[in-house]
């Protein structure tokens, strides 16, 4: 047996503290089949015993059998079933990944029930790491990362010691994730070497990932035929370009036989793409797909494509329309091993925006839905903002409403559920200890979109903090509902983008209002919001199926949380509560500050029940959240008071 690896060396154990697995460590554990991932079950048990100071169990100790024999018919790869036989437990799965998922499920939920069958909803459950081998002279940085530097890259190469990488893979596998894009989708120069000089290191990481049931992926630059292949073009219809990608794929799969494939951002925000050669996205994706097809690989082609050089004076151009406009005309032209990766909303991971209509519009093309676990626009892991309720709303959104064909986003996104990771090399993995809840909940929702976010919060907090009911109640009070609180404090009613440009932290009401990024709120003396109706606006509302299009088109039926996304509305407009629009803006922002203060005070009531480091880390971040909340409140209320001239009905101080 290999030397047991430390369970979580010098880092926070997240929801996998060794003590949680005492029942497994004390049992006789047997593994029958499952390859490298099945063997990892035994390695993990050995590590638990070493951490807990336990020796080999007695001959009459209860037994846990993990076996690939007799798995129920119809289970997807990675699924598992649990059967109780007296004091013994049997976990059956079709593969080693399923055995490992069953092991971690039993660790997180020690009283896993007889007859439990867990089957993932989709085959691809993926984290995209936006890690850089080097960026701006800083080694191992993470773009939009708020938890320290990369766990994978140091000094322009993959780290020699993969201990932290192993810990990250352990976290991924424990919540059912099975795919990892290693590098930033905005590929930098050094990262191009991942398909060449650093390929042995990629193979090393892939070997480790395989033992956790995870396949690795690589982000590739569309212009690689020029930068790496010495060609003068990257035209996808040029046979020399096709040959370059075939040769590259052959070389990659010799080193990593189970490579998942390529993740690509093309013709987006200055990234090279097929448009430079008069080609379209189907041409661009298919040349890569055909190179990968003999090896069983897939292209994940991101649909985050829009004009980022807009003239702010031109109200006919609407960034929200862009993905649908680009990709719907190409539906059916993509090869079978192309998956279009679509952001959950039409803009860019705002705290509130509608579900992207593209997710329901592509009938002949496989799609995946993309979320953002890293909190780029939701407090950057300085703030508590539990995002699982947002993701659950998206996954349950029904494009078939009003028809006989229910089609939720979870139904449409058969190509996978993907998210930008929030992990770095911070001691607690996610920068803010409570941000671990987002990583946990994302994995569980990717596995089963029907799960209840509040129940997931309870599952995470009990696994992380133990069975102290008073502490668990306090953690729940601090975390639950924090997404809605963040929404109350920031841009109102879906309008979005009132943030400081580029770094996206903190309020700047007009920071993007006159830029080329196409992110406007159009506030003036009469009202605020973007007219996206078919009748008088950009027509974006018409990209939805009829029932939704009609609801969004009509000011009277448009959901109020999205009112300013779809309509330019006067400050005196009466909402369903009877209050005016501007009064709603005042009320939510003042209430948001009080709610954040309440959460900080609630933490103090239970902070002595956790270790001092966790207590202080959370305390410090909540103090920053209180400060930031007050800043948001003061700036937003002052801006709209000055724009509208309307007093606050409650006489609160507005500057």
Q: Provide the annotated active-site residues.
A: 269, 348, 376
Q: Compute the C-alpha angle 130/378/307, nearest 5°.
A: 60
**Contact between 545 and 399 (Cβ < 8 Å):** yes
3-state secondary structure 483-536: HHHHHHHCCHHHCCCCECCCCCCCECCCCCCCCCCCCCCCCCCCEECCCCCCCC
CA distance 203 to 199: 6
Task: Please state whether beta strands 416-420 and 125-128 pair in parallel, antiparallel, or not at all (unpaired).
Answer: parallel
CA distance 534 to 521: 18
List b or e across 177-192, with b for residues whose CB sees 16 or more CB atoms inside 10 angstroms: bbbbbbbbbbbbebbb
Phi, psi of 616 (to 5 degrees): -75, -40
Cβ-Cβ contacts under 8 Å for 510 (sequence gap 6 or more) = none
For the chain, give me the number of helices (H) and strands (E)?
20, 19
* Axis crossing angle, helix 612-644 with helix 482-489, rounded to the nearest 10: 40
Half-sphere exposure of 143 (CA within 13 A, CB side): 18
Q: Render 108-154 in DSSP notation, one character per residue.
A: HSTTPPTT-EE--SSS-EEEE--B-SEETTEET-BTT--SSS-SSEE
Cβ-Cβ contacts under 8 Å for 542 (sequence gap 6 or more) = 534, 549, 553
Cβ-Cβ contacts under 8 Å for 413 (sequence gap 6 or more) = 122, 342, 359, 367, 368, 369, 395
């Amino acid at each position: 047996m290999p030397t047991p690896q430390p369970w979580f060396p010098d880092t926070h154990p997240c929801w996998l503290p060794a003590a949680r697995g005492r029942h497994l460590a004390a049992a006789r554990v047997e593994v029958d089949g499952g390859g490298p991932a099945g063997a990892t079950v035994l390695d993990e048990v050995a590590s638990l015993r070493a951490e807990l100071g336990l020796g080999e169990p007695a001959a009459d100790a209860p037994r846990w059998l993990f076996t690939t024999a007799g798995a129920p018919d119809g289970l997807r790869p990675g699924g598992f079933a649990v059967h109780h036989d007296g004091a013994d437990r049997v976990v059956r799965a079709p593969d080693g990944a399923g055995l490992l998922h069953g092991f971690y499920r039993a660790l997180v939920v020690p009283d896993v029930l007889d007859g439990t069958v867990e089957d993932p909803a989709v085959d691809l459950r993926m984290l995209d790491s936006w890690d850089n081998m080097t960026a701006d002279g800083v080694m191992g940085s993470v773009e939009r990362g708020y938890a320290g530097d990369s766990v994978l890259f140091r000094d322009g190469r993959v780290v020699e010691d993969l201990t932290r990488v192993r810990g990250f893979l352990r976290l991924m596998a424990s919540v059912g994730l099975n795919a990892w894009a290693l590098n930033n989708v905005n590929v930098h120069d050094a990262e191009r070497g991942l398909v060449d000089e650093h390929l042995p290191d990629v193979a090393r990481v892939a070997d480790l990932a395989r033992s956790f049931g995870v396949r690795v992926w690589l982000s590739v630059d569309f212009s690689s035929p020029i930068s790496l292949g010495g060609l003068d073009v990257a035209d996808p219809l040029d046979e020399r370009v096709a040959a370059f990608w075939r040769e590259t794929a052959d070389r990659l799969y010799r080193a990593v036989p189970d490579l998942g494939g390529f993740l690509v951002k093309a013709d987006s925000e200055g990234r090279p793409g097929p448009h430079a050669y008069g080609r379209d996205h189907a041409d661009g994706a298919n040349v890569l797909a055909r190179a990968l097809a003999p090896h069983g690989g897939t292209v994940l082609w991101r649909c985050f494509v829009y004009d980022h050089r807009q003239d702010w004076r031109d109200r006919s151009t609407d960034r929200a329309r862009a993905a649908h406009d680009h990709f719907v005309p190409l539906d059916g032209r993509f090869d079978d091993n192309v998956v279009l990766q679509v952001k959950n909303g039409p803009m860019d991971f705002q705290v509130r925006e509608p579900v992207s209509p593209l997710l329901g519009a592509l009938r002949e093309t496989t799609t995946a839905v993309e979320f953002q676990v890293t909190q780029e626009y939701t407090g950057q892991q300085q703030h508590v903002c539990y995002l699982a309720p947002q993701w659950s709303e998206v996954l349950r959104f029904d494009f078939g409403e009003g028809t006989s064909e229910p089609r939720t986003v979870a139904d449409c996104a058969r190509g996978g559920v993907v998210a930008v990771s929030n992990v770095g090399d911070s001691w607690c993995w996610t920068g803010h200890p409570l941000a671990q809840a987002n990583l946990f909940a994302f994995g569980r929702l990717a596995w089963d979109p029907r799960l209840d976010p509040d129940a997931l919060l309870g599952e995470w907090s009990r696994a992380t903090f133990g069975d102290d009911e008073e502490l668990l109640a306090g953690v729940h009070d601090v975390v639950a509902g924090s997404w809605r609180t963040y929404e109350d404090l920031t841009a109102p009613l879906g309008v979005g983008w009132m943030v400081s440009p580029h770094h996206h932290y903190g309020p700047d009401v007009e920071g993007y209002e006159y830029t080329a990024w196409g992110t406007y709120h159009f506030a003036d003396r009469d009202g605020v919001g973007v007219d996206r109706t078919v009748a008088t606006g950009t027509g974006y509302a018409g990209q939805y199926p009829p029932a939704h299009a009609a609801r969004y088109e009509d000011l009277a039926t448009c959901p109020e949380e999205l009112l300013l996304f779809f309509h330019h509305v006067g400050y005196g407009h009466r909402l369903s509560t009877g209050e005016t629009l501007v009064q709603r803006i005042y009320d939510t922002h003042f209430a948001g500050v009080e709610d954040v203060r309440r959460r900080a005070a609630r933490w103090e009531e239970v902070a002595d029940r956790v270790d001092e480091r966790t207590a202080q880390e959370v305390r410090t971040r909540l103090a920053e959240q209180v400060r930031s909340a007050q800043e948001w409140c003061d700036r937003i209320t002052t801006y709209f008071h000055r724009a509208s001239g309307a007093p606050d009905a409650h006489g609160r101080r507005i500057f």
